Amino acid sequence: MNLTLRIWRQSGPDAPGAMTEYHVSGISPDMSFLEMLDTLNEELILRGDQPVAFDHDCREGICGACGMVINGQAHGPERTTTCQLHMRHFADGDTIDVEPWRAGAFPVVRDLVVDRSAFDRIIGSGGYITAPTGSAPEAHATPVPKDAADLAFEHAECIGCGACVAACPNGSAMLFTAAKVVHLNVLPQGAPERAGRARAMVEAMDAEGFGGCTNTGECATACPKGIPLTGISVLNREYLRGLR
């Protein structure tokens, strides 16, 4: 496959950025999108140019590190992480636009790398449970209803990639925050902090500069782990519960 890439290049947070065009050839349809970028970077290094900076780690769709907007879609045309997007989803001769997450709360560090530490601060404000130190408790010591366990597992799948924020026209982090709140609040283990968890995490989210939710649903559509939009409704209820 021969492809034309238009990639956002920005040398630093305060430097101006622009789309830069590159041509790559000999790309296998079985390559992942990140492997294709590796091929481009090898060519750039051989030419003495700066390689394109992008986030990646496990490359197995688990860690959530990889994240970029491909042809206007978070993670690209398939509902998966960028590392699991394969080049067979594109055609020979295609022009592909590659940009970083576009959100005020995710400032660009360099090229396609953005600072997503705002997510860490939201989690730090309430995404934990009170647990005594020592040996692990007996697995069956705390009964958990089946429906609560299923709901918790569904929301615990969030990998914090930020696709929900990048896809949202408002740059909202409501789906991410909902996933972190719901999977703890529905379990007995999360009960000690339940009253203040949603309030603290929503306030932290607002303080980071994320936009408000208007229920457009793009966040759930882009989420590679299928976190349901209904989680935001649960978050809203938990938030109101915490205000009482």
Q: What average pLDDT does range 136-157 have in this prediction?
A: 89
Q: What average pLDDT does range 206-210 have in this prediction?
A: 97
Confidence of residue 186 (pLDDT cuts 50, 70, 90): very high
From start to end of 30-174, where are the E strands?
69-70, 73-74, 95-99, 108-110, 113-114
Sign for the pseudo-dihedral over CA of 175, 181, 63, 41: positive
Q: What average pLDDT does range 71-91 have in this prediction?
A: 96
The answer to whether 172 and 90 have CB atoms below 8 angstroms apart is no
Tokens 């929301």 — which residue? Answer: 155
Domains of the chain, first to last: 3-110 (3.10.20.30), 116-243 (1.10.1060.10)
Confidence of residue 54 (pLDDT cuts 50, 70, 90): very high
